[in-house]
Structure 1
Amino acid sequence: MVDREQLVQKARLAEQAERYDDMAAAMKSVTELNEALSNEERNLLSVAYKNVVGARRSSWRVISSIEQKTSADGNEKKIEMVRAYREKIEKELEAVCQDVLNLLDNFLIKNCKEAASVAALL
């Protein structure tokens, strides 16, 4: 079992390498230890998920734009391929958001001892 400090260090390294999926996974594991997070740990969790969501939102915008342009061309095979790819990105985005909601519901809110910590999460 990896200890808490190793997971936090892994998240820091992942942030420096801009590997936000790895950062989110490490901080999710810290959160699932079912203990209150420090300010730094909360910030790492927030940065990780903000960037994971941001990258997928950016991808979604690009693909949606391509989808609109492709629709005007009328190439049905290409339209279907682009649509399927957009839907894949939407499912990933939905899964990430659901992951955050589950962490909030199952660990983060109930483990906060201070009102300021709860406010920071919401």
Structure 2
Amino acid sequence: MILNIIITLITITLLIISIFSFLQKGPIISIIYYFSTQEERKELRIKDRYYYIGTVFLMSSILFGTILIEETFNLPIIRTIRIPFIIILCIYTIFRYAQIESKRMKAKNKK
């Protein structure tokens, strides 16, 4: 019971962060953002980065939602759906982050 409540809270929190990121509101939930100077933070607040963070958090909320469904209804078949989803999330996260960072570094080198 407590596990379901915790997973529900995590899912809702991830979904809220995702929605705010897609709306481009608030800070970017990223380690690099919080360790940056004010000037670098302005450079990081771009549409691509907001959508990247929004997509990662949306996919994570879906992932935790599937865990919640599996725990609530005791459906082990959900696990077979979740594994490819985790792989896709990992691949997307790595490649999209590298793409955004390389674009930022190129723009920084041109200045």
TM-score, normalised by the number of residues in structure 2: 0.47
**Superposition TM-score, scaled by structure 1 size:** 0.43
Higher RCO structure, 1 or 2 (CA under 8 Å, sep 6+): 2
